[in-house]
Structures are given as structure tokens and as C-alpha cells.
Amino acid sequence: MRRIPAELVLAFFLPAALPVAFPAYAASCAWSAKMEEDEGGSVMMASVCSGPQGDAHLMLACFGKPVLSYDPGAAGGQLEPGVSADFTFKAGGKSLTKKLELEAMYHYFTTELSGPADPLLALLRGKGEVMVSADNYGVASFPLKGSGAAIGKVLAECGKGSGGEAD
């Protein structure tokens, strides 16, 4: 389920003579929900990106239960297998801390959520933006506009058997 940055996809499909600039990632960093391929087959994935290069990502999929993934992008530095960290999510005057484990194959942090009523999902369906931070992994800010609809599409797929098996 490795995500290919939009600038690499565009660079592949656009002719070399065409000048391409990627000054602002706001349009490509909006929440979206779509079917993506994973090792176990197709899975509904909600995602959003952030950062000056759009390289930090929050992703939500359902493998029986909702699974949140966080890729800190360049702020993550060199990630070592077996690493876990407490990440703080702040939005709308609320703050939650969750332990996320590094998923070695894809090099991003993941956590299984309790279900559709998980407090972190409620926080992510809010307004404004969410700040994600952890010692050694920097801080990223993600917009929350459109998150409710994208997360809702993923949660609607939970329990339908459409996702692959979790590793």
C-alpha cells in the first residue's frame, strides 16, 4: 500500500519539455477516499497529505477494524524497524495521544482503532486542522475539511470484507 507522491506520477506522465511547477500542494493535499490496491486486494482508503513537499500523510483503511497510518515524510528521519512512538493529535481544542508502531515494510506508523466511535476518529472528523507530533518525528498539520466524508466512506466498508488482511 505504498503511496507514490503526486509529483512523481505527474513527472512520469508529463512531457519533459512541459514546464512543471509544484509550488503549493493545497489542491493535492485535500482529503480523499478511493479504492486502492493492498497486498490482500482492494481496500477503501481515506488519505490526506501535508508539508512543504506534500510528503507527510495520514491514511485510514479498514482491515476488520479501522487502521490509521501516519507517514511523517522527511520529518521522520531515518526510521528503524521495531520503533514505536507516542503521537499526539490536537484539533478543536482537544488532544489525544496514541502509541503508533512502525510498519517496517512501508515505513510509516500505524495503530488499530477500536471502531467507528474511536475518539481519534471523532477528532479527525472535526473542523480546522489536526496537528500530529511526536518526539523525534516532527510536527505536521493536516486540514480537516472533507475528512468526515472520506472517513465515512472507509467506515462504511468496515465489516464488508472488502479489505485485505492486516499484517
| Tens-digit pLDDT profile for residues 74-104 | 877 777 778 899 999 999 999 999 999 998 8
Give one word for 155, left, alpha or beta, with left for phi > 0 and alpha for psi -120 to 50. Answer: alpha
Q: How many domains does the chain have?
A: 1
pLDDT of 160: 66
* Domain of 136, in residue numbers: 6-157
1 is a domain residue = no
pLDDT confidence tier of residue 57, bands split at 50, 70 and 90: very high
Exposed/middle/buried for 93, CB within 10 Å: 0-12, 13-18, 19+?
exposed
What's the chain's average pLDDT? 80
- What CATH number has the domain bearing residue 94? 2.60.40
Per-residue pLDDT band for 165 (boundaries 50, 70, 90) equals: very low
Whether 80 is in a domain gets the answer yes
Task: Please check whether residue 142 lies inside any domain of the structure.
Answer: yes
- pTM, 2 dp: 0.77
> Is residue 165 assigned to a domain?
no
